Amino acid sequence: MTWVAWRQHRTAVLSSLGVVLLIGLGLVALRLAATSSIRELGLTGCLRDGYFDPGCPAGAQSVLEDRFSSLLSWLPQFLIVLPVLLGVLVGGPLVAREFEQRTQLFTLTQSVGRARWWAVEAAVVGMPVTVALLTLGLVVGWAREPLYVLSPTRLESGWFETTGLVMGGYFLLAFCAAALLGLVLRNTVGAIALGVVAYLVLVPALSMLRPHVLDTTVVSAAPGTVMTDTYVPAGSRVLDVGYRSAAGEPVSPRYDQCGEPFNPATCAEEQGAVSERAEFIPPSHYWPLQLIETGLAIALAAVALLLGLLQVRRRVI
């Protein structure tokens, strides 16, 4: 049964692995280009805690930004769609195409149980691509590491979904959802379309939960000083920043009433602010959140597989 499933779906699996490999090679090239530029510009040992040290060579920051900022702005936008595209394009036709071509009848008359048929089909196709995307997420994080000073924290939306482990979890979720829809609808196009819709509902919901899963950190300091390394570590994801009155109430300064020379903190103090408050997710939460979100995606994928198992046992094939 495993060999039959591989013969049926090897083109989809190998194509997906080829896409992941090409992207991985591109990321290796990015890492090499970044480290080479940093050495060329004399920035080695000059980048500290995600910032350009004041002792960095004059003009080097601008040159590095010109070379890589544009790439770093669109790279996560490109990578973030990869799990869903591969997931639905591989998962949608997994069994739907067999129903369209009636080839499932041949398989199920060869002493192969329905549960085994469903499980083997999903495992043979889903496992290798899931492992590939888990690896790719780690490669993305490794490739952008030298350019940390030019890109937002890994906790920001976009980079969080494309580094670490969640790419593999997202693929598995999209794959299993599309496979389940293909089993129910018995139509490849419908399974792919509704798989995308399901993904666009579930994944943003997981992202919205992210700031509430672990305790955030809240700090207060004098107006104009809270957004510094002293209070908010480099690599944090800032959720909220605002001024507070002596009673702890939010203060929204009217900047059009500020005097000259303009200073936002001074203006806020003149209008009743006595402190500035910041709420953020510290960088130490990155890996715990990665594990939690990946686990949730895998759990939802397992639910889809279980529903598929119930479907193949009860429905006329």
- Rounded to two decimals, the pTM is 0.89
Distance CA 148, CA 177 (A): 35
Distance CA 166, CA 290 (A): 6
Neighbours of 6 (CB within 10 A): 13
Kindly state the helix (H) or strand (E) to which residue 241 belongs, with its residue range. strand 237-244
The beta strands (E) that lie in 123-282 are given as 217-221, 237-244, 250-251, 275-281
Q: In this model, does residue 316 exceed pLDDT 60?
A: no
Query: For the chain, how many residues are written?
Result: 317
Radius of gyration of the chain (CA): 25
| pLDDT tens-digit readout, 175-233 | 999 999 998 888 889 999 998 998 888 888 888 889 999 999 999 988 888 777 778 88
Neighbours of 63 (CB within 10 A): 14
Please list the residues that pair with 51 across neighbouring strands: 48
DSSP structure string for 190-223: HHHHHHHHHHHHHHHHHHHHHHHHS--EEEEEST
Q: What letter represents residue 8's amino acid?
A: Q
| pLDDT tens-digit readout, 7-17 | 788 899 999 99
Domain spans of the chain, in order of start: 2-212+285-314, 217-281
| pLDDT tens-digit readout, 88-117 | 999 999 888 877 666 654 555 566 677 888
